[in-house]
Amino acid sequence: MLDLQQLGYRYPGSPAPALQDISLHIQPGECIGLLGSNGAGKTTLLSLIAGLIQPQQGSLRWQGHNAIGLVPQSLAFHARLRVSENLQLFADLYRLRGSERQHQLEQAIDAAQLESLLKRTAAQLSGGQQRRLNFALGLLQPAQLYLLDEATVGVDSANRQRMLQAVRSLADNGKAVIYTSHYLPEIEQLADRVLLLSEGRLLLDQRLQEQPAQQFSARWADTIPQALVQLCHDRHWSCSQQGNQLKLELSDPQQLQELLQLLASQPAPVQLDYGPASLEQLYLHSSGGQL
Ligand SMILES: Nc1ncnc2c1ncn2[C@@H]1O[C@H](COP(=O)(O)OP(=O)(O)OP(=O)(O)O)[C@@H](O)[C@H]1O
């Protein structure tokens, strides 16, 4: 759908590039979480994709139609107009007509839960309600790719869940989504692929289902059974011990089988966890501890 090849961008007068050497391919139906600390280049990347700024290096190629729905980080609506008037204005802007117009309006109002706010002017809305209006206006546009820049900042958790559901269903209906947030659980819930930017470079591009490592962790009431420590040592598995807790990264199902076999003959742990490494662990590991 969209190919970025060695994209680079430096703001005029800025000493360092905001983005360099960014290559990626975006496919229909992908929900991509875009992570990075403040100033990492997330908004710049979305602006390049949206065509708001032009790349100075590299190329950006669309296959097919390049219709984009944008939910910008800075609120973009008319403060003096009512919520309903803003929605109608943007529907005009996107040239929506007839049943498509009706459908898009209903969906956007529902996704942002705006029914009870339609008559208020945008200026009269709270911060979180304004964020929801901003979200609805971006979703209103029929598009192949949606770019959402910190779309849920300041929104309460019930409304945020509704918004995340709406974003997820865009991807489930074959639209591509790029979603930035500093809130990792949100990305973990939503995204099937994660990009991590650091100082303008793409540090990580990972599908979440393909995370290779599984995290095994067990804690005992008194001490870690020596036989277990010995097994890790003999097999050269890298494990870490903290007090009565043992943590291991497993890359092979066979390892888990061996571990469990041994565990069955040892004192039972008081706590046992096994599962994919969390996004937070992955993020901390890739970014060298920067959140
Ligand atoms: N209009 C501008 N003029 C000059 N430099 C800019 C401009 N906008 C952004 N930058 C710089 O480009 C770099 C990337 O900024 P960008 O806004 O893309 O980061 P971000 O990852 O979106 O950050 P945040 O999480 O704070 O929103 C930063 O160093 C920033 O200072």
Can you tell me the distance from the alpha carbon of 251 to that of 23, in angstroms, rounded to the nearest whole number?
28
Structural domain includes residue 136: yes
**Angular region, 6: left φ>0, alpha ψ -120 to 50, beta rest:** left
Average pLDDT, rounded, for the chain:
90
Of 193, 209, 225, which marks where a domain is finished?
209
What CATH number is associated with residue 245?
A: 3.30.70
Residue 188 pLDDT: 84
Show the tokens assigned to 85.
């008037």
Residue 118 pLDDT: 97
pTM: 0.79
The domain containing residue 172 runs over which residues? 2-209
> How far, in Å, is the centroid of ligand 1 from the Cα of 34?
14
Residue written as token pair 């065509």: 51
Whether 17 and 52 share a structural domain: yes
Mutate to test the pocket of ligand 1, among 7, 9, 10, 11 (most ligand atoms within 8 A of CB): 11
Close Cβ partners of 216 (under 8 Å, ≥ 6 residues apart): 247, 248, 249, 250, 256, 259, 273, 274
Give start and end residues of each alpha helix (H) in the chain: 42-50, 83-93, 98-111, 127-139, 157-172, 184-190, 226-235, 253-264, 279-286
> How far, in Å, is the centroid of ligand 1 from the Cα of 130?
23
For residue 52, pLDDT over 70 is answered with: yes
Residue 211 pLDDT: 55
The count of structural domains within the chain is 2
Of 209, 230, 257, which marks where a domain is finished?
209
Whether 190 and 248 share a structural domain: no
Residue 149 pLDDT: 95
ipTM score: 0.97
Whether 189 and 215 share a structural domain: no
Instruction: Give the CA distances from residue 104 to residues 32, 81, 87, in Å, rounded to whole numbers and listed in that order.
Output: 23, 20, 10
Question: Tens digit of pLDDT for each residue in 151-185?
Answer: 999 999 999 999 999 999 999 999 999 999 988 88
Structural domain includes residue 291: no
Residue 288 pLDDT: 56
pLDDT above 90: percentage of residues in the chain: 64
Whether 132 and 250 share a structural domain: no
The more confident residue out of 193 and 253 is 193
Tell me what percent of the chain is helix, strand and coil, each rounded to the nearest 5. 35, 25, 35
For residue 282, pLDDT over 70 is answered with: no
Show the tokens assigned to 247.
């943590």
The more confident residue out of 128 and 269 is 128
CB distance 181 to 40 below 8 Å: no
Of 184, 209, 234, which marks where a domain is finished?
209
Residue written as token pair 């790719």: 145
